Chain A
């Protein structure tokens, strides 16, 4: 622990704090889903600690409960998590000088919101301590928030309101992160093409359309970055 690490952690936390509330409804929904599937509190929280990925948990749960073959459960989870392979590759350079014993828990903590918020600084800031703090601060906050609210969902499954469209708060959080990213023209192209492709490919099994859409969006952004004259970021 040193001062630069703490300064980085504080900056990352401050940026992520308002966006992190988008995690709360998702965590509650996940907790309710785990309980509704018939898991005990220990089983639900055990899965939650081991997996720490809402989409993969909710999607594999019906398969697990129905006694589906293990290979199908594993493949489903892998398909839903393929995007993390892309995220890991995109942010890896920010960890090149971080020791292995810290890189392993960093992988565990890598979630969508933190990736989207932290990547740019992770790739551009030189100070290793500040940079790692900037990742770890929001990551640990997101982890704690997630565990607390999944537990709340597990314990309060019967008492929570079902029809308040709270899951839309996660969509709002992701949009708020997306807006500043898209001020550069090539980034905007990547976002538009990625979004449209994802809607068009929604019929693909196991949400694979999302992965294909991300790849198409990345390629479109890359091409646009080469072709379009670079305008200074607003």
Chain B
């Protein structure tokens, strides 16, 4: 696919991204949701983050594998994030554990 079709596809994907993103922010008062729904949406960040993160920790090659290097690294990251406020530590130690298990021990 070349030239104009390529850019038409980009424009389409752009619309399919920015219509949902802009929707309620741009419409504002004209599309206010019922209070019960607004209350429920307080849980959206936690539910969404977990839904995005969980498969990348527990699923290996399409199958659930609870015990894998990513899981071990994730447990360490969770413990560090619960215990210390330092924002860089989870990255340094988490990647250290993952790479140590994969490269050092060959998992």
A residues lining the B interface (CB < 8 Å):
17-19, 21-22, 39, 43, 46-47, 50-53, 56-57, 60, 64-67, 70, 73-75, 77-78, 81-93, 95-96, 100, 103-104, 106-108, 110, 112, 115-116, 119-120, 123, 164-165, 168-169, 171-179, 181-182, 186-188, 190-199, 202, 210, 213-222, 225
Contact B25 A171 (CB under 8 A): no
Q: A178-B49, A213-B51 are in contact. Are A107 and B18 (CB under 8 A)?
A: yes
Contact B21 A198 (CB under 8 A): no
B residues lining the A interface (CB < 8 Å):
1, 5-18, 20-29, 31-33, 37-59, 62, 64, 70, 73-74, 77-78, 81-82, 87-88, 90-91, 94-95, 98-99, 102
Contact A91 B25 (CB under 8 A): yes
Contact B16 A96 (CB under 8 A): no
* Minimal beta-carbon separation of B42 from chain A (angstroms): 7
Please, could you name 7 A-B residue pairs with CB atoms under 8 Å apart, sorted by A? A70-B9, A112-B48, A199-B59, A213-B51, A218-B43, A220-B43, A221-B42
Name the one of B7, B16, B43, B88 contacting A217, with C-beta atoms under 8 angstroms. Answer: B43
Q: A176-B90, A218-B43 are in contact. Are A88 and B13 (CB under 8 A)?
A: no
* Minimal beta-carbon separation of A21 from chain B (angstroms): 7
A181→B13 CA distance, assembly (Å): 31
Name the one of A50, A90, A177, A179 contacting B14, with C-beta atoms under 8 angstroms. Answer: A50
Contact B49 A174 (CB under 8 A): yes
Contact A53 B43 (CB under 8 A): no
A175→B81 CA distance, assembly (Å): 8
- Interface of A, secondary structure class, is helix
A52→B20 CA distance, assembly (Å): 13
Name the one of B21, B24, B32 contacting A108, with C-beta atoms under 8 angstroms. Answer: B21
Cβ contacts under 8 Å, A177 to chain B: 45, 49
* Minimal beta-carbon separation of B44 from chain A (angstroms): 4
A172→B23 CA distance, assembly (Å): 29
Contact A116 B11 (CB under 8 A): no
Contact B21 A175 (CB under 8 A): no
Contact A77 B16 (CB under 8 A): yes
Cβ contacts under 8 Å, B58 to chain A: 199
Contact A222 B29 (CB under 8 A): no
Contact B21 A221 (CB under 8 A): no
A191→B98 CA distance, assembly (Å): 23
A159→B92 CA distance, assembly (Å): 23
Cβ contacts under 8 Å, B87 to chain A: 17-19, 176
Q: A57-B13, A106-B25, A217-B51 are in contact. Are A65 and B18 (CB under 8 A)?
A: no
Contact A172 B21 (CB under 8 A): no
Which 5 pairs, one residue from A and one from B, show the smallest C-beta to C-beta distance?
A: A217-B47, A107-B22, A221-B43, A18-B87, A195-B54
A94→B87 CA distance, assembly (Å): 26
Residue of B nearest to A172 (CB): B94
A202→B9 CA distance, assembly (Å): 27
Cβ contacts under 8 Å, B16 to chain A: 56, 74-75, 77-78, 81
Cβ contacts under 8 Å, A60 to chain B: 9, 13
